[in-house]
Amino acid sequence: MKPVHVLSVAAEIYPLIKTGGLADVAGALPTALARHGVRMVTLVPGYPAVLAALEGGKPVAHIDSLGGGAATLRGGRAAGLDLLVLDAPHLYDRPGNPYLGPDGRDWPDNGARFAALAQVAAMIGGGLVPRYRPAVIHAHDWQAALVPAYRHYAGADAPPVVLTIHNLAFQGRFPRDLLGAIGLPDAAFTLDGVEYYGEIGYLKAGILFADAITTVSPTYATEIASETGGMGLGGLLAGRGDDLAGILNGIDTEVWNPATDALLPRRYDAGDPCARATNKAALQAAFGLEPLPDAPLFGVVSRLSEQKGLDLLLGALPDLCAAGAQLALIGTGEAWLEDGFRTAAARHPGQVSCRIAYDEATAHLVQAGCDALLVPSRFEPCGLTQLCALRYGAVPVVARTGGLADTVVDANEAAVRAGAATGFVFTPIDPSGFAAVIRRVLAGYRDVPAWQAMQRAGMRADVSWDRPAQDYAALYRRLAERRRDA
């Protein structure tokens, strides 16, 4: 089979720069796809962390004027990834979080910064880099969503574009007066162009002009193509019909492998989930929780935002503590939630402990040591932490929404009898639904054989990229062939 060359375009990529699951996906896909005949090169902004890691980095193209300055495109490798790095210091030479300034707010020029990324991707599609012509461009989220719009308005013979929506809540809306500065014609500012509620809608434009749209789970694909789940874009998404599909995320099963994970005090596999006891004790010690081997220990690894529903957990903490359970949380995000968890930890010393931080090593320890991982999201396009939990023998407790609904088999009577249950799935996503599922979990935890069966079923579940990579590869080939036939 001839390899298909795909240019992936992403504002984050693990392990170089990450704020969430988008980085994990962008970082894992190239390796997973290589096994399916796809050669993926990823275009990323030249943040300091990316440039510092780049080996080679020789200039492959120069752009005199891009978003108010000159830019150099550098080709090279970093962390095993083939990259094209957009070295444009006036746009990206800013340390830390890729979107936020030191005041914790969005950089005021984010509209220009990510339009430039998309514009350069479209230029690469049009032949900017000598001897490199991708057959397909894969654009991730609003930051890259203008790629097909640039192609459309340039009228060039450029490759087909797949747009993946990782989270419809982030739509990239910017003022109309940016249009000229980002190199789009005035004529683009119409309802069947980039206009969206009086502004420029990056994701809106992507949805309109992409050749195919994917999102990160089948259930989320259905949810977003509707009035209720569409966040203003439901009609447009529904209008794309079969061009919209859900392809479930996987996780990197080498980064997340309890049998080889160097970050764990004790490594283990599905044959011996009881070996997790050592990790549970280490987690309790690290978090200053009482060293009680039999106390049900809940874990959370999450951004702290409205989306993640963790205020439901805050409300349930008194009951949880009264039942003798413990909580170890690692997360950062919105101040009201950070404060809420700090206060809760102070109120329940030894029983509730929160690390307001972003730390990969602690995330691994939580997954390896907690009994049940909580993901009570109000909506969740896919969710990766419940997949890590499955692989690590932490029983996931998730809301019935998006990818959570697609990846966890609820411990109902039939599933338990069939040995298929892997966790707990709850609805309604409100205080009553959450309180009820916590009661079910606490009861389930006391039934040791059933609990262990659930752990083993979870650890055997396929959470790898194998299947999704096949689906992406098939999609790229379809699009590439369609173009050849046209």
Q: Between residue 236 and residue 295, which ones bind ligand GLC under the rule CB under 6 A?
A: 249
Residues recorded for the chain: 486
Stretch that binds ligand GLC, among 314-322, 347-355, 377-385, 392-400 (CB under 6 A): 377-385
Residue with tokens 């200039």: 59
Q: Which does 385 bind (CB under 5 to 8 A by kind): ligand ADP, ligand GLC, none?
A: ligand ADP
Q: What gap in Å lies between CA 269 and CA 94, rounded to an integer?
A: 41
Q: Per rule CB under 6 A, is residue 359 in the interface with ligand ADP?
A: yes
Q: Are strands 71-78 and 81-87 parallel, antiparallel or unpaired?
A: antiparallel
Q: Between residue 373 and residue 432, which ones bind ligand ADP under the rule CB under 6 A?
A: 382-385
Contact 422, 390 (CB under 8 A): yes
The H or E element containing residue 334 is: none
Residue type, 410: D
> Among residues 72 and 407, whose Cβ is nearest to ligand ADP?
407
* HSE toward the beta carbon, residue 137, CA cutoff 13 A: 36
Q: Does residue 362 sit in helix, strand or coil?
A: helix
> Among residues 21 and 159, whose Cβ is nearest to ligand GLC?
21
- Residue in 10, 205, 207, 301 binding ligand ADP, rule: CB under 6 A: 301
Q: Per rule CB under 6 A, is residue 143 in the interface with ligand ADP?
A: no
- The least CB distance from residue 21 to ligand GLC, in Å, is 3
DSSP code for 172: -
- The least CB distance from residue 259 to ligand GLC, in Å, is 24
Q: Per rule CB under 6 A, is residue 21 in the interface with ligand ADP?
A: yes
Number of chain residues interacting with ligand GLC (CB under 6 A): 14
Q: Is 201 left (phi over 0), alpha (psi -120 to 50) or beta?
A: beta
Q: Per rule CB under 6 A, is residue 4 in the interface with ligand GLC?
A: no
Q: How far is CA 56 from the centre of its chain?
A: 28
> Among residues 333 and 350, whose Cβ is nearest to ligand ADP?
333
Residue type, 93: D
Name the residue number minimizing CB distance to ligand GLC.
21
Residue type, 335: A
Q: Is 288 left (phi over 0), alpha (psi -120 to 50) or beta?
A: left
Contact 118, 9 (CB under 8 A): yes
Q: How distant, in Å, are the alpha carbons of 36, 190, 219, 468, 482 from that of 475? A: 12, 30, 19, 11, 11
Q: Per rule CB under 6 A, is residue 380 in the interface with ligand GLC?
A: yes
Q: Does residue 459 sit in helix, strand or coil?
A: helix
Q: Per rule CB under 6 A, is residue 299 in the interface with ligand GLC?
A: no
Residue 356, strand partner residues: 331
Q: Per rule CB under 6 A, is residue 141 in the interface with ligand ADP?
A: no
Stretch that binds ligand ADP, among 18-26, 117-125, 220-228, 336-344 (CB under 6 A): 18-26
Q: Which does 76 bind (CB under 5 to 8 A by kind): ligand GLC, ligand ADP, none?
A: none
Burial 378-391 (b: 16+ CB within 10 A, else e): bbbbbbbbbbbbbb
Q: What gap in Å lies between CA 137 and CA 127, rounded to an integer?
A: 13
Q: Between residue 314 and residue 333, which ones bind ligand ADP under the rule CB under 6 A?
A: 330-332
Stretch that binds ligand ADP, among 4-12, 19-27, 62-70, 434-442 (CB under 6 A): 19-27
DSSP code for 402: H
- Residue in 45, 57, 250, 381 binding ligand GLC, rule: CB under 6 A: 381
Q: Between residue 407 and residue 466, which ones bind ligand GLC under the rule CB under 6 A?
A: none
Stretch that binds ligand GLC, among 20-28, 130-138, 229-237, 346-354 (CB under 6 A): 20-28
Q: Per rule CB under 6 A, is residue 250 in the interface with ligand ADP?
A: no
- The least CB distance from residue 384 to ligand ADP, in Å, is 4
Footprint of ligand GLC on this chain (CB under 6 A)? 20-22, 25, 166-167, 216, 249, 380-384, 403
Footprint of ligand ADP on this chain (CB under 6 A)? 20-21, 24, 301-303, 330-332, 358-360, 363, 382-385
